[in-house]
Amino acid sequence: MDIRSTGAKRVPLERDRRWTVVKYALLSRVACLILGIVSSAIVNDYDASAQLVLAPATTYLAQVLRTLAHIVLRWDAFYFVHIAGSGYVYEQEHAFFPLLPILMRTLTQTVLRPLVAVGGEQAVLAVAGCIISNACFVAAAVTLYALGQYTLRNERLAYIASLLFVFAPSNMFMSAVYTESLFAWLVFSAMLCIARRQHVVASLLLCASSLCRSNGVMYAGYLVWDVVVRREAWIGKRWTQMVVRAVAAAGLVAVSVLGFVGFQIYGYRTHCLQPLYPNHPSRAYCDGLPATVYGFVQAEYWDVGFLRYYTWSQIPNFLLAAPMIVLSIAGIYTCAAHDPVRLATLGWKRRPSLQTASLDTAFLGNRLLPHIYLWVLLLAVATTTMHVQVITRMFSAVPAVFWFAAHLASKDR
């Protein structure tokens, strides 16, 4: 008898597979760090910036801390470490949201405080960021497994998807001092709470996610979908009840985006009301909406904007992003082709020829619809406005990517 065929035997299977996901996630983190150590030892590092900010090692423990910090201190990680240690000093640092630096500083000043005297604050802050990222990665993998069970109604696909997440191409970024792991855990947890109808908790998690990354505000749409858009929310309800639900949804969304809004207000107060550099020319965001500090900084310092990346020199970056773009287009097309009527009507109507059962489980189920809409939105933003090569790590927080990959890899489709 298949162990999944009865409810009594399904629980041990899920428990075993949950621990399997944990073990593989931990092993992948160890493998990434070992790969980083080996690469650093045998490959000349063209970027010596880490050597300039880390204190010299005088003891064996200090050398261990310095080695680990040297591995994870790359590119954006320097900004997060600087913000965690000194706050927001420069305008361009407002491209990096404060939740990860806050957690890094908190961990450094509490649990890791004794190590500061040994390895220096910069090294310990980097190690703290590495610990947070790796712990959140493991938590995100387990949460994705649970979310997949709720959404797909197919334990095997949920398990495969979580393993694909563990070994995704964005793996190295998930171990570094970057926000991807923390953000993925927050939004996966919020989606799981929404699936369980725990909307208030979900809004708080999404609030934290919008304090972690700017695209966290897009995930607030899940609350609107679950409370007022999906067809099942209207069954047996009077119009007055739906008005109340709409007001509740607006309140939940307001809480969800509070992290992003609060950070923009902080930037406005820092650079407009009490400027660090009084002689600095006035910025567009000081004149009020629709300009924001984040939007200005991205355009001014990183040349982010609509179709700005469409130049001949960026062709290599588009080729680097091509696998994820192709996978995304294929996944969205597969869902749309299965029932275009359902996709176009937000799930309110469906193609009559389809069996009802086929709409309830696996990748083509009704519960996938909000995930597909988010996937479409993020794909459009990534390919027209962002630095397109970051799409692989950006989509590490898009569950539908891994569910579709699991769908392709499964024999059940």
Coil vs helix vs strand at 281: coil
| Interior angle at CA 24, CA 4 and CA 139, nearest 5 | 85
- 63 vs 44: CA distance, rounded Å: 19
* Averaged pLDDT for residues 26-38: 87
- 413 vs 410: CA distance, rounded Å: 6
| CB neighbourhood size of 250 (10 A) | 13
What type of residue sits at position 163?
L
- 175 vs 161: CA distance, rounded Å: 19
pLDDT value at residue 352: 73
Alpha helices in 153-198 (DSSP H): 155-166, 171-175, 180-195
- 50 vs 47: CA distance, rounded Å: 8
Two tokens at 345?
Answer: 């009507």
Coil vs helix vs strand at 386: coil
pLDDT value at residue 176: 87
Q: Exposed/middle/buried for 262, CB within 10 Å: 0-12, 13-18, 19+? A: middle
* 93: DSSP letter: G
Contact 174, 396 (CB under 8 A): yes
**pLDDT tens-digit series, residues 142-165:** 999 999 999 998 999 999 999 999
**pLDDT tens-digit series, residues 56-85:** 667 778 777 777 777 777 788 889 999 999
- The phi-psi region of residue 288 (left if phi > 0; otherwise alpha if psi is between -120 and 50; otherwise beta) is left
What type of residue sits at position 371?
H
What type of residue sits at position 262?
G
Give which of 217, 226, 289 is closest to 253, Cα–Cα.
217
Contact 294, 263 (CB under 8 A): yes
**pLDDT tens-digit series, residues 9-20:** 566 777 788 999
Coil vs helix vs strand at 223: helix
To which residue do tokens 């902080």 refer? Answer: 266
pLDDT value at residue 355: 53
Q: What percent of the chain has pLDDT over 90?
A: 59
pLDDT value at residue 1: 36
Q: Is the pLDDT of residue 361 over 70?
A: no
